[in-house]
Structure 1
Amino acid sequence: MTTFNPQSSSSSWIPKQSSDALLLDAEGVASLLGCCSKTVRKLAQRGEIKSIRIGRLRKFTKQAVMDFVNQASEREQVKA
């Protein structure tokens, strides 16, 4: 999300990702998971993490990210 910062001396547009946003992009999910956005996109393409397509964009809910983490930890427990 890009927002206008009226207090900026240059009155420029600055990118801002809101922590209470409904949807995250691949970069936001990657930041949460500690991986790169390409990995997140591959996980989504394989159906390992649920995503929503909005036009050409792929977005993720926070719940989908939490579900992915929970499922991944359950798979690790089964392997052990």
Structure 2
Amino acid sequence: MELQERKQRDAQMRASINQKLVESGERERLMELLRTRLIECGWRDQLKAYCKEIVRQKGLEHVTVDDLVNEITPKGRGE
């Protein structure tokens, strides 16, 4: 199977799974479970503190939302 065909099939599979999760209400349940777990483990508070530190370092007038997103995304993803 060609790489392009496999990517297309995978995209269709993801769309189908997502649709079934939405229809069954499981997607929202899983999202809420994830939110709860991230809060419980301190991940949310750590990112919030990291954002505050970036703002302190650069100064409020020199930081945009896009700057914060670009700074915290790798940390939030654990990269």
Structure richer in strand, relative to its length: 1
Common fold by TM > 0.5:
no
| TM, length-normalised to structure 2 | 0.27
Higher helix share: 2
